[in-house]
């Protein structure tokens, strides 16, 4: 199962409750077990989750076990990082990034 230690996993079943109804902005990593770049960005997301826990929630969604949510948001590549604020997607980033660049791309939405 696609999982990074320290990050919560969301599914089609609980996506609305965990992501769309969150008081904090939520960064969702759409990924999969077979995705090498997903493993590559995992330490970056874990570090961000620890550092930004008061301002940003970071969760993972396995596109193989929860394809409905991935399809609903037009996710075609893994990893896709999508930030939701107030129940709406506000930023989408495809592919891996070093932490510094990811933080720059998240400015203004977090």
Tell whether the model's pLDDT for residue 63 goes beyond 80.
yes
Q: What DSSP string runs through 53-67?
A: TTT-EEEEEETTT-H
- The first and second tokens of residue 62, run together, are 């396995």
H helical segments located in 1-110: 15, 36-51, 67-72, 99-106
- Average confidence (pLDDT) over 32-38: 95
Query: Given pLDDT bands bounded at 50, 70 and 90, which one contains residue 1?
Result: low
Phi, psi (degrees; rounded to nearest 5) at 14: -115, 10
pLDDT of residue 19: 98
Confidence band, pLDDT 50/70/90 cuts, at residue 28:
very high
Catalytic residue list: 35, 38
**Tens digit of each residue's pLDDT (9 = 90 or more) over 90-106:** 999 999 999 999 999 99
What pLDDT does residue 86 have? 96
Per-residue burial over 16-53, b if 16 or more Cβ lie within 10 Å, else e, is eebbeebeebbbbbbbbeebeebeebbebbeebbeebe
Q: What are the structural domains, with CATH classification, of the chain?
A: 8-106 (3.40.30.10)
Model pTM above 0.85: yes
Is pLDDT at 56 greater than 80 in this prediction?
yes
């Amino acid at each position: 199962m696609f999982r990074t230690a320290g990050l919560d996993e969301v599914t089609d079943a609980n996506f609305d409750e965990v992501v769309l109804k969150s008081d904090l902005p939520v960064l969702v990593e759409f990924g999969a077990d077979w995705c090498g770049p997903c493993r590559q960005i995992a330490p970056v997301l874990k570090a961000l989750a620890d550092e930004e826990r008061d301002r940003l929630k970071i969760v993972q969604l396995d596109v193989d076990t929860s394809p409905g949510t991935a399809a609903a948001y037009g996710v075609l590549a893994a990893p896709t990082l999508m930030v939701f604020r107030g129940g709406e997607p506000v930023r989408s980033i495809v592919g891996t990034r070093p932490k510094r660049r990811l933080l720059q791309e998240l400015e203004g939405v977090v």
